[in-house]
Amino acid sequence: MGSVLVVEDDDKIGSRLQAALQANGHDAEWHRTGASAVIAAGAAVFDLALLDLSLPDIDGLDVCRELKRSQPSCVIVMLTARRDEMDVIVGLESGADDYLTKPFRMTELLARVRAHLRRVTTVTPSTEPLSLKDLTLDLAARRCTVRGRALSLRPKEFDLLARLVASLNAAVSRERLIADVWDENWFGSTKTLDVHVAAVRHRLSESADWFEPPAELPVITTLRGYGYRLDL
């Protein structure tokens, strides 16, 4: 099981979440404000956070960024009543790994939590770093570097890149990527995959320009109607 930080200002929802998580064997700590959640994240390590975006004191997106800064390995699942696609994309780009829109079914939320925690605890990394042109991926240390300089990737971004590296120069379907990086019983929107692919592309492109001449890095190619391929 795992340690879960619940950030929710609604007493009814917060108490239900904490009780359901504890009943399923998780260690759940509930906070009603963004400020207290940030303090808690500075004092203890959490495997996963359930974060309401509409908080009374601090914008949930700012809390998301702070949680990722202080605990980069913590999986963040946004809980939001904002149904606009752009709001969801902004949330994912702020560091969230997944989202659920309110109202949600408790069974679905618990399934998401189990899926994310299973991905965190069942990774069996290779002991040898992988070098692809100027990019080096150290799966054991979960470290990515470009010409020796660290490239910061969020947990799911790292997992996505590692999965594409495992099938270098081969096509990987959207369904396979979602199953391997998130979970085979994934309930969420496939927009999550698209946002993470876009983020990895941006970080690779940005890191190439750190150097003169630019670093040579693999490229993620979109295969319309199918999925993606990592090309050298």
Average pLDDT in the chain:
87
- Give me the residue label for tokens 């004092």: 43
Quote the CA–CA distance of 3 and 74 in Å, as a whole number.
10
Return d(Cα 17, Cα 28) in angstroms, integer.
8
Q: What is the mean pLDDT of residues 56-64?
A: 92
What is the rounded distance in angstroms from the CA atom of residue 145 to the CA atom of residue 204?
10
How far is 6 from 29, CA to CA, in rounded Å? 6
> For residue 120, what pLDDT is reported?
60
State which CATH number among 3.30.420.40, 1.10.486.10, 3.30.565.10, 1.10.10.10 fits the domain covering 130-231. 1.10.10.10
pLDDT at res. 84: 64
Pairing of strands 149-150, 219-223: unpaired
Query: Across the beta sheet with 135-138, what order do the strands follow?
Result: 130-132, 135-138, 143-146, 149-150
Question: 225 or 90, which is more confident?
Answer: 225
State the average pLDDT over residues 183-192: 64
The H or E element that residue 30 is part of is: strand 27-31
pLDDT confidence tier of residue 176, bands split at 50, 70 and 90: confident
pLDDT for residue 22 is more than 90: yes
Select, from the ranges 71-75, 121-125, 201-205, the one with the highest average predicted confidence (pLDDT).
201-205
- Find the radius of gyration of the CA atoms of the chain: 18
92, 218, 186, 139 alpha-carbon torsion, rounded to 10°: -100
What residues does each domain of the chain span? 3-121, 130-231
* CA-angle at 137, arms to 136 and 141, nearest 5°: 125
**Owner of token pair 């496939």:** 190
Look at residue 28 in the predicted model and tell me its pLDDT.
94
From 26-40, 90-104, 207-221, the region with the lowest mean pLDDT: 90-104
Position with higher pLDDT, 93 vs 106: 106
Is residue 91 within 8 Å of 62, Cβ to Cβ?
A: no
Question: Quick one: pLDDT at residue 161?
Answer: 94
Per-residue pLDDT at 83 exceeds 80? no
Kindly indicate the confidence band of residue 55, based on its pLDDT and cuts at 50, 70 and 90: very high
Lowest mean pLDDT across 119-123, 194-198, 209-213: 119-123
Q: How many helices (H) and strands (E) does the chain have?
A: 8, 12
- How many angstroms separate the CA atoms of 48 and 63, rounded? 14
Q: How far is residue 51's CA from residue 131's CA, in Å, rounded to a whole number? A: 36
Place of tokens 């990394």: 125
Q: Does domain 3-121 have CATH number 3.40.50.2300?
A: yes
* Overall average pLDDT of the 137-159 stretch: 90
190 has a pLDDT exceeding 70:
no
Residue 14: per-residue pLDDT: 95
